[in-house]
Amino acid sequence: MFKDYYKILGVSSSANNAEIKKAYREMSVKWHPDRNPGIDVTAIMQDINEAYAILKDTAKRSRYDEEYLRFRGTFDKEDKVQDDVNTEKKRQSQFKWTYEYDVQDENLKEDIKNAREYAKKLVKEFLKELKESSKVAVKGAATNAFNYTIGWVVAGIILTIIGSIIRTCN
């Protein structure tokens, strides 16, 4: 399996490091769980982090680019034929960046394996921290809501007592 890291980040293969970093940040914000409620973006976030882990490193990117040229030579023709036949199907597949293609460079295979593990770990830790901070926020909000409710109830009782005293004095 081969992933088109350039397609994942939405940059061209000639993008410089600053463009890649900018695209990584934009995609991370775009697919952040807070911006996509109700959608499991775990796999997308992992792909974004995996792509960045390879493309930000000069040596890894160089190995990836060599393989990418071989990959493009294989799939450009195939994609063109499928575009003609399955245009609608492809349009519906928003995240088509994984291909059945065997990586030939053993060092790159290891780079990709390590980048996947790193990305999974990074996203797992992020989601864990997000859940924990959400729990703290909910607990804080519940405590504040309870305190405000008690405050309003006490204020209501006091105002009722004052109102009763005023009526009895008149």
Domain region containing 17: 2-135
Q: How many domains does the chain have?
A: 1
Instruction: For the chain of 170 residues, list the mean pLDDT of each consecutive stretch of 10.
Output: 91 95 94 87 92 96 93 66 42 59 85 89 83 78 83 89 87
Number of residues in the chain: 170
Q: Quote the pLDDT of residue 76.
A: 62
The model's pLDDT over 21-55, given as tens digits with 9 standing for 90+, comes to 999 999 999 998 888 888 888 889 999 999 999 99
Residue 41: give its domain's CATH number.
1.10.287.110
Q: Which of 117, 10, 104, 94 is nearest to 55 (CA)?
A: 10
Pull the structure tokens for residue 118.
């790193």
Q: Which residues touch 52 (CB under 8 Å, ≥6 apart)?
A: 9, 20, 21, 24
Residue 154 belongs to some domain of the structure: no
The model's pLDDT over 56-66, given as tens digits with 9 standing for 90+, comes to 999 999 999 99
Q: Quote the pLDDT of residue 93.
A: 43
Residue 15 belongs to some domain of the structure: yes
**Contact criterion met (CB below 8 Å) for 31 and 45:** yes
4-20 burial by CB neighbour count: b if 16+ within 10 A, else e?
bbbbbbebeeebeeeeb
Q: Whole-angstrom Cα distance, residue 99 to residue 131?
A: 33
